[in-house]
Amino acid sequence: MTNPQNDPVARFGPLTAPGLAEIDAIADHAFGSLPAEFRAAIGQIAIRVEDFPDEETLADMGIDDPFGLLGLYHGIPLTERSLTQPSAVPDMIFLYRRPLLDAWAETEGEAAGTTLYDLIRHVLIHEIGHHYGFSDADMDRIEAE
């Protein structure tokens, strides 16, 4: 018989990193926690979770390390849109699971109480801010609400 004290699975349960579906569920919950007027003004925006950004995205942004990008807004910011020409590019926010998990692991020790949910919510607000052309102060205010 296995001693539960010596068996990490029996003691702690199966320890696995959250997968794409779990990160997607956290992102859904985090998006739903944003102020209703903020969510309503965003309109239709898709949130897509991938393990890493693709090579083309990294090259376009001049990023060498695939862990260097946690999220990305893809679309035309409201400040650059034309009223006479609808956007052919759908608004989308990408969240990158592996860089998020890496950043969370690095910050957890520094900022006690930082949860994966907090980090994902922070990245969502930041990427939505790009959609609106918000300043960092605007995004800080939204996060505080």
Quick: pLDDT tens for 94-143.
999 999 999 998 876 555 557 899 999 989 988 888 777 777 777 777 66
Choose between 140 and 12: higher pLDDT: 140
Q: How many domains does the chain have?
A: 1
The answer to whether residues 103 and 123 touch, using CB atoms and an 8 Å cutoff, is no
Residue written as token pair 């990427």:
127
pTM given for the model: 0.79
Quote the domain boundaries for residue 44: 17-77+88-144
Nearest CA to 68 out of 94, 92, 102, 119 is that of 102
At residue 41, φ and ψ (nearest 5 deg) are: -70, -25
Q: What angle do CA 30, 95, 108 make, to 5 degrees?
A: 70
9 within some domain = no
Nearest CA to 131 out of 81, 86, 96, 56 is that of 81
* Mean pLDDT value across residues 63-85: 81
Q: What is the pLDDT of residue 100?
A: 96
Q: What is the pLDDT of residue 110?
A: 54
CA 33 to CA 78: how far, in whole Å?
22
Q: What is the full DSSP assignment across 49-112?
A: EESS--HHHHHHHT---GGG-SEEEES--GGG--SSS--SSPPEEEEEHHHHHHHHHHHHHHST
Q: What type of residue sits at position 37?
A: E
Q: What is the pLDDT of residue 81?
A: 66
2 within some domain = no
Q: What is the CATH number of the domain that holds 52?
A: 3.30.2010.20
12 within some domain = no
Q: What is the pLDDT of residue 56?
A: 95
4 within some domain = no
